[in-house]
Amino acid sequence: MCKTEDNDALDSLASKRVMMHFCAPATNAESEIDRKLTGSAEQYDIPFEGQTLKVYGWGEGKTILLVHGWGSQASHMAFLGKNIAKSGFRVIAFDGPAHGKSEFNGSHPRSSMPEFSRAIFHLSNHFGPIYGMVGHSFGGAVATFTACGQANLSGYQVEVEKLVLISAPSGIEAMVNHYCRNYALPDGSKSAVIEQLEREFPLKVGDYEINDALNKFAGEVLVVHDVGDPEVFIEEARQMVEGHRRVSLVETRGEGHRKILASRSLIKIVRSFL
């Protein structure tokens, strides 16, 4: 929840500024490790909505698409991706719009869940049928909503047989909660941010809950989440799998929110599932 203070909701101007910040991913300089992780990949520059998406590929076989988290980039999932490829898959990873080496429109980096979903749809058309998607954090939520054609994203549905959600939030409302908590926004900010979000895109935040979306998914789902994740709490993972027979939850310990992507145990779990 947002920080509790005796304070009214954000005024219109402030909420617009918060929305600009909410939609602006952090930029990360490419490290030597990032370059090494993607150095062996086939690399593509794919035109997309007046921008260019940087795309990486490993291996041959059925296609697995990796979707990184907000403020992250494809290289952060490359270690996992390269190991998935060893199981006989073609793995495609991409820097999301306004992330990593992908371009963005305008003077400042800016993106959104709908734009990520459209990018996934675009890449599925370019690279052919997608067998499965593996998403981390925000990327897990986007992968789910795209695979299920949820609400406003129905025109960009990408049907897959398998979904892997790693450290994923339970929905958009949870993402707003995380944002309010991380930036210690005053009580009432959550409703103001949601109102601005729904006005801008447009969408209804309540339509985007993973537990609800999975009612439409006919394939198999694996949810992997660390019990001590300090950013997306384990309760969200437990809530999203509730009531679903074809959804499995694996709880890890000591892997956190980000370093889980370099975990040998995660690689074993995901390769076995796929």
- Where is average pLDDT lowest: 7-11, 14-18, 195-199, 255-259? 7-11
Instruction: Report DSSP state, residue 209.
Output: B
Q: Mean pLDDT lowest for which of 44-53, 190-199, 238-247?
A: 190-199
What does the pLDDT average to over 160-187?
Answer: 94
- For helices 78-85 and 32-39, the axis angle rounded to 10 degrees is 20
Residues paired with residue 163 on neighbouring β-strands, in sequence order: 133, 221
Residues 19, 3 contacting (CB under 8 angstroms): no
Q: Where are the alpha helices (DSSP H) in 168-263?
A: 172-182, 189-200, 210-213, 234-241
Across 40-49, average pLDDT: 96
The pLDDT value recorded for residue 86 is 98
Please give the domain boundaries of the chain with CATH numbers for all domains: 12-18+43-273 (3.40.50.1820)
Mean pLDDT (whole number) for 108-114: 86
Best CA proximity match to 234, nearest among 144, 145, 174, 164: 174
Residue 1 confidence (pLDDT)? 39
Instruction: Enumerate the H helices of 72-155 as residue ranges.
Output: 78-85, 113-127, 138-147
Highest mean pLDDT pick, 16-30, 104-118, 173-187? 173-187
Residue with tokens 């150095």: 39
Summary mean pLDDT of the chain: 92
Q: Residue 57 pairs with which residues in a beta bridge?
A: 42, 92
Provide the CA 94 distance to its chain's centre, in angstroms: 12
40-53 core/surface letters (b: 16 or more CB in 10 A; e: else):
ebeebebebeebbb
Q: Long-range CB contacts (< 8 A, 24+ apart) of 97-101?
A: 97/48, 97/49, 97/51, 97/53, 98/25, 99/25, 99/68, 99/71, 99/72, 99/73, 100/28, 100/30, 100/54, 100/73, 100/74, 100/75, 101/30, 101/54, 101/73
Predicted confidence at residue 81, as pLDDT, reads 98
Largest CA distance in the chain: 57
What pLDDT score was predicted for residue 6?
36
Residue 160: left (phi > 0), alpha (psi -120 to 50), or beta? beta
Tell me, what's the pLDDT at 13? 58
Residue linked to tokens 């809530």: 239
For residues 48-69, average pLDDT: 97
Mean pLDDT on 138-150: 98
pLDDT at 118: 98
For 43, left (φ over 0), alpha (ψ -120 to 50), or beta?
beta
How much is the average pLDDT of 167-185? 94
- Least confident range from 8-12, 93-97, 160-164, 235-239: namely 8-12
Contact assessment for residue 267 and residue 216, using Cβ atoms and an 8 Å cutoff: no
pTM of the complete model beyond 0.85: yes
**What is the percent of the chain with per-residue pLDDT over 90, rounded to a whole number?**
76
Distance of CA 143 to the CA centre of its chain: 6
